[in-house]
Amino acid sequence: MDEEPKRVDRAGLARVILAIATESGWLTADEWRRVAALVLAAGGDWPAVADLAAGCSAVPAAEERLVEQLTAEIGDRPRLDFHSVVAGVAARAYTLGAIADHDFIAVLSSHGSDAYGTKNDSEGGAMMWEVWAQHSLDGSCAEFGGSGTSGYDEEDLRVRGDRLIPPDSITGPLGAVLADVLHG
């Protein structure tokens, strides 16, 4: 969390935020306020983000404007899949030391059953399904890997997940907030 401020890849940050914003109505006004404040601090100064950080009451309209603004910023770069953003942000937060390994695995597991349909189309969805399916086989979603569970390796998941997010596109504090919000 005490990392030095560094130049953030605005297009990469835009890809991450776009994947979240396109899940229309997914974040509450309070969650958007926390996320948007850190996006602004990280150099993502899109007008709709400023509105969301200020506590704009028309969150759905601001989200729609944000999607338009981010799409223009991204240009022809490929969009990121929502499940890959969740897995990638959690992995980046774990890499930065902002969350613990069991919190990283909990984020993946908490979205695992929802990721079933995307497990073949999305690396993040595949990671979530892998963790969730192993927990189901173990008979407990409270048992996390690394302590004798042979179905997955936290370090391998962290490396795979961290590769999903563009380099330098999120900072430690933003990674921690997003991981918290995306935990659901």
Model's pTM, two decimal places?
0.82
Does 121 or 123 have the greater pLDDT score? 123
pLDDT at position 143 is 42
d(C-alpha 172, C-alpha 134), whole Å: 29
Task: Tell me what pLDDT residue 129 has.
Answer: 82
The encoded tokens of residue 97 equal 């030391």
Over residues 155-184, the pLDDT tens digits come to 999 999 999 999 888 888 898 899 888 876
Query: 80: exposed, middle or buried (C-beta count within 10 Å: 0-12, 13-18, 19+)?
Result: buried
pLDDT (mean) for 2-24: 81
What lies within 8 Å, CB to CB, of 157 at 6+ separation is: 91, 104, 105, 108, 127, 130, 131
Q: Is 6 helix (H, G, I), strand (E, B) or coil?
A: coil
Q: Whose structure tokens read 């984020």?
A: 107
Q: Is a pLDDT exceeding 90 seen at residue 36?
A: yes
**How sure is the predictor about 152, in pLDDT bands with cuts at 50, 70 and 90?**
confident
